[in-house]
Structure 1
Amino acid sequence: MIRALVALGISTEMKLHRKGAREMYSPWANRMIDAYVFGRSYQERERGQRGSVEAALDANDPDWRTRELIIMPSHVASVDHPDILDMIDLAHSAGFDVVAASVIFSWDGGDNRADFPNIWRMPWDERWTIPNPWTEDNLQDQLEMLGRELWTRICKKQTP
């Protein structure tokens, strides 16, 4: 999903997205958006390597406070709530509006909406919910669609 979002923002096909600074372009205004995009959730890679959200941001991009956009995915389990609160606090301390872009997974056996209420109650500036009907077919197409939807929403906010 993140790979699809970045590929659309830089107008280049990508086989793999690596975290990093990106000059991404809004298709509406043809304006560059200065971004840093993590490819995996904070909990998967950065927490174990860096120990804190701030250390992860500083180690990966010392200029993160001056960017227009930071994309840092997170898990939503209750054990991850302190990380998310740190993300929100750090973003606010750097002058960012903080958006929760929740991707709801639903499949025949249920969905993960029960994981979100405590996350949604946190002090976000905005909350976006991206529906995601589960399919076992064309998973790659599904991830591409989610990435395009998220990039579209970001661009509409960044380029009014």
Structure 2
Amino acid sequence: MPMPGLVDWASLLLPLGPGAAAGSTSQQVAAGVGREEMVSGAAPPPPPESGAGSSSGVGREETKGKGSARGRGSRKASRPRFAFQTKSENDVLDDGYRWRKYGQKAVKNSAFPRSYYRCTHHTCNVKKQVQRLAKDTSIVVTTYEGVHNHPCEKLMEALNPILRQLQFLSQL
């Protein structure tokens, strides 16, 4: 029985829908892994606009002058955000993904700065913020914005030997 060449790992590892992401983190919270705060609704990210990749900037100029182009009650759909509080000595916790630091700023009423990170995968635009809690400095608050559209690299490294064995056994 031949094994298919291409496997869609993202669809296997990502949540099934917008409600599934909130449900999986709720299970982690119940297990004591971390505390989840739903900052914004679990709406899926908005579809890409036509011409978003163009460098002409024509679309941006049209919306700059109009202060209320969308209307009073409508907002741009935001990506889901999840915050976890973890007791740790390290500020940056290993979650299996690779991150690039792109900023840091001082926070009011806190001696510790907030750091900003982006996922380094070329198609992924997930961001995270890391900050120490002002009241209890042993707690690190990590806020994720968005959902990864690729498998976790550490998970893939761990699964690689198993996948090779399965492929070998399927050829017998």
TM normalised by structure 2 equals: 0.24
Higher-Rg structure is 2
TM normalised by structure 1 equals: 0.25
- Higher normalized helix content (fraction of residues): 1
